[in-house]
A and B are shown apart, each in its own frame.
Chain A
Amino acid sequence: MSEAMISLLTQAFGETLMMVGLSGLISCLFGIPLGVLLHNTKAGELWANPTLNHILGISVNIGRSVPFIILLVAIIPLTRIIVGSSIGTLAATVPLTIAAIPFVARLIEGALMEVPSGLVEAANAMGATPLQIICKVCLPEALPGIINSITITLVTLVNYSAMAGAVGGGGLGDVGIRYGFHRFEPQILIITVIVLIALVQVIQMLGDYLVNKVDHR
């Protein structure tokens, strides 16, 4: 393998990391609060508001049902507004983030549902405000589930980022398609896939390690 190839792969690896890292971070920033809302606006929960819950639920479902490859091109105008360009790695993080937010929200909602209702009740009996209950009881108690959700999201983002090549986002998937598939260089294809597999393994192991660390159940 030539030096040029190695530097190409290194650069692509960096791009993948950046796309996954940045969109992972931002989608958590929005997705976690959205998940909290999604859970707590349900009937009988802390901020029970069935109408809002319905609206949020439908929005999240829409977000999750649009195929990523379509989302990627459909929101090009929005991408241009946000990052000033519709092509490149940074541009690719916009659709990645938007696809990941509802995904994160649903997973967080699921993690919160795992918190025994007795704990919320106990906190209520102590006279805690809903915000205190969420911050001091629900989120810490759901932390193992939340970390697991983030792990799943990052792995999914690694997967999605491979499609970012469609808008010139680069990354390992893009290299695999362009060099490995279109130019018939199976060696490149295999290397990119192996690197992606390794990346996913590392993310999953790190996630599992953290879950273990915070789980005292």
Chain B
Amino acid sequence: MIQLENLNKIFGKGEQQVVALNHVNLNIEAGQIFGVIGASGAGKSTLIRCVNLLERPDSGKVILDGTELTALNKQELGQARRKIGMIFQHFNLLSSRTVAENIALPLEFERYDGAAIKQRVAELLTLVGLDDKANVYPAQLSGGQKQRVAIARALATSPKVLLCDEATSALDPETTKSILNLLKDINHKLQITILMITHEMEVIKSICDQVAIIDRGELIEKNSVADFFSHPKTELAKRFIAATIHIEIPHEYQMRLSSEPKPSTFPLVRLGFSGASVDAPLISELSRKYHVDVSILSANMDYAGGVKFGYMLAELFGESEQTDLAIQFLIEHHLSVEVLGYV
């Protein structure tokens, strides 16, 4: 549905030059929710703004539903944009228009007649659950309600693609959840393709099917959300994931931790669970087979993209040959095992 081919974009000149996009290639299939995550300044805003050409790339192609947007003239682009909805971090609602009038705006641009606008707006208000707010001005709404209005407005012309530019970044966690649920719902009901950029792993985890990481204008990792969380390839991906599932070595252990085994010390390991390994009762098997006792310091299991994944911090008590065998056993069963040291 959305194809980006070799997009490049540089801002500024000379020494102040900033590479916002560097040979970006991306292919998003119809009906997917695709998330792009990156730190601020990584180029994610530029990326999403290039999809509907609010920002023109210096080179490269943007192909949307078979149409090459980068080859269109102004008028044709205007037409094409009507099939792309967009929502923003700061909602961008017109303060001079009521909720219903805001939703009607894109329909007015398309010169729908009054009756058709009225009917469509009523449908959309129901879709986003704001039937009772039709004649209220945006200033009287909460952030979440404003974003709902923005979503309704973006969907007014029945677009095939919805772009979400940090759509939940200005919202509190509870509201973020409800907006994400709404987006997921819309994705199911309308079969609309959603591209969202965010700096919040939470967003990726809760609704995306596919994810890409952007860093200094480059897409450094692309994967299904399930594989991304279970087998992160890049250092940055690991950092992002670590930030969402908080698992750290407790301070006292950190103090006692030594990198080499000593007499009467035991390995402290970080076990990474993913996919199938989460369901298997491996820990109890470990005790039975190798007579290794497992003391769990902390553990955090999560669910994203249809798979469970998580980390566990544990101390393995046992003879050193036995603990080595136990680690081998875990690796054979698709756990990632990292010996952090000995305590």
Query: Hey, which bits of chain A sit against chain B, CB under 8 A?
Result: 116, 118-119, 121-129, 132, 136-137, 140-141, 143, 214, 216-217
Contacts and interface: CB of A to CB of B under 8 A. Distances in A.
A217 B141 CA distance: 11
A216 B95 contact: yes
Contacts of B79: 127
A128 B139 CA distance: 24
Given A126-B81, A127-B80, A118 B109 contact: no
A136 B94 CA distance: 10
Interface of B: 52, 54, 77-82, 84, 86, 88, 90, 92, 94-97, 105-106, 108-110, 137-139, 157, 163
Contact of B108 (A116, A136, A141, A214): A136
Contact of A141 (B96, B109, B163): B96
Contacts of A214: 96
Contact of A127 (B82, B88, B94, B137): B82
B97 A118 contact: no
Contact of B105 (A124, A126, A129, A216): A126
Contacts of A121: 54, 88, 92
Given A216-B95, A216-B139, A128 B109 contact: yes
A126 B82 contact: yes
Which residue, of A118, A127, A143, A214, has the highest number of chain B Cβ atoms within 10 A? A127
B109 A122 contact: no
Per DSSP, chain A at the interface is helix
A149 B23 CA distance: 48
Nearest to B136: A216
Contact of A132 (B95, B109, B137): B109
Contacts of A141: 94-96
A8 to B, nearest CB: 45
8 contacts: A118-B92, A122-B92, A124-B54, A125-B81, A129-B78, A136-B109, A141-B96, A216-B137
Contacts, number: 65
A128 B78 contact: yes
Contacts of B138: 216
Given A127-B109, A132-B109, A216-B137, A140 B94 contact: yes
A82 to B, nearest CB: 36
Nearest to A214: B96
Contact of B88 (A122, A129, A140): A122
A177 B108 CA distance: 55
Contacts of A129: 78, 109
B54 A140 contact: no
Given A121-B54, A216-B137, A216-B139, A126 B106 contact: yes
Contacts of B84: 125
Contacts of B137: 216
B92 A116 contact: yes
Given A125-B54, A136-B105, A143 B92 contact: no
B105 A123 contact: yes
Which residue, of A121, A126, A143, has the highest number of chain B Cβ atoms within 10 A? A126
Nearest to B111: A132
Given A121-B92, A125-B52, A140 B97 contact: yes
A141 B101 CA distance: 13
A97 to B, nearest CB: 29
A127 B92 CA distance: 15
B51 to A, nearest CB: 10
A217 B90 contact: no
Given A127-B81, A216-B139, A119 B109 contact: no
A73 to B, nearest CB: 43
A129 B110 CA distance: 10
A177 B106 CA distance: 57
A140 B52 CA distance: 25
Contacts of B157: 126
A122 B95 contact: no
A137 B97 CA distance: 9
Contacts of A143: 96
Contacts of A136: 105, 108-109
A83 to B, nearest CB: 38
A216 B139 CA distance: 7
A60 B92 CA distance: 32
A4 B281 CA distance: 109
Contacts of A128: 78, 106, 109
A127 B109 CA distance: 8
Nearest to B87: A122
Given A141-B96, A216-B139, 19 more contacts: A119-B92, A121-B54, A122-B86, A122-B88, A123-B105, A123-B109, A125-B52, A125-B81, A126-B81, A127-B81, A127-B82, A127-B110, A129-B78, A137-B94, A140-B94, A140-B96, A140-B97, A141-B94, A143-B96
